[in-house]
Amino acid sequence: MPPGTGDTQLSLSQNIPISGAVIVSTPQDIALLDARRGAEMFRKVEVPVLGLVQNMSVYVCPKCGHAEHIFGQDGAATIASDMGLSVLGDVPLHICIREGSDNGQPVVVSKPQSPQALAYRQIAEQVTEKLSSTPPIDPSPQSQHFSSSHKDGS
């Protein structure tokens, strides 16, 4: 879903059976506040939060190998720990991810042996493992109590 905790996310989570949510955030403090709100919203509507993914976690210079945490470091790990969640993985900031996406070729297809593709595969494995251990979702609309309390402003 798009980032946020607005009507779109609420409506979808209340009307479509969702097996679990993966919260994706950059390590920036302001983005992490939104990630925390998103995780709390999913918990309120009884959608299991499978964990967090830290996007743009590090930039590694292709010329010298220097690693720079442009957007901050370990922010997802901090809120995951606070919320009793796990970090499913870190996705680095790398031009091949952007270029592949822009060309319709995800990095797991365009550069399947790259460290960037490995990051995505590891996250997919973590999500698969979490989903296999999560109880099945009742297909009835979820958490009607949240919807009514949300509408009256409480």
In a domain? residue 140: no
According to the model, what pLDDT value does residue 145 have?
41
Domain with residue 73: its CATH number is 3.40.50.300
According to the model, what pLDDT value does residue 2 have?
61
Q: Tell me: the pLDDT tens digits for 49-74?
A: 999 999 999 999 989 999 999 999 99
Q: Domain containing 91: what range?
A: 19-133
What total of structural domains would you count in the chain?
1
Contacts of 126 (CB under 8 A, 6+ apart): 50, 51, 86, 88, 89
According to the model, what pLDDT value does residue 148 have?
39
In a domain? residue 94: yes
Q: How far is Cα 105 from Cα 115, in angstroms, rounded to an integer?
A: 16
In a domain? residue 152: no
In a domain? residue 71: yes
In a domain? residue 151: no
In a domain? residue 4: no
In a domain? residue 9: no
According to the model, what pLDDT value does residue 131 have?
93
Answer yes or no: is pLDDT of 151 > 90. Answer: no
According to the model, what pLDDT value does residue 7 have?
79
Positive/negative CA dihedral, 92, 96, 100, 106? negative
Q: Tell me: the pLDDT tens digits for 112-144?
A: 999 999 999 999 999 999 999 877 666 554 444
Both ends of the chain: CA-CA distance in Å?
A: 24
Average of pLDDT values for 77-103? 94
pLDDT-based confidence at 80, cuts 50/70/90? very high
pLDDT-based confidence at 147, cuts 50/70/90? very low
Q: Tell me: the pLDDT tens digits for 10-47?
A: 788 888 888 999 999 999 999 999 999 999 989 998 89
According to the model, what pLDDT value does residue 1 have?
65
In a domain? residue 116: yes
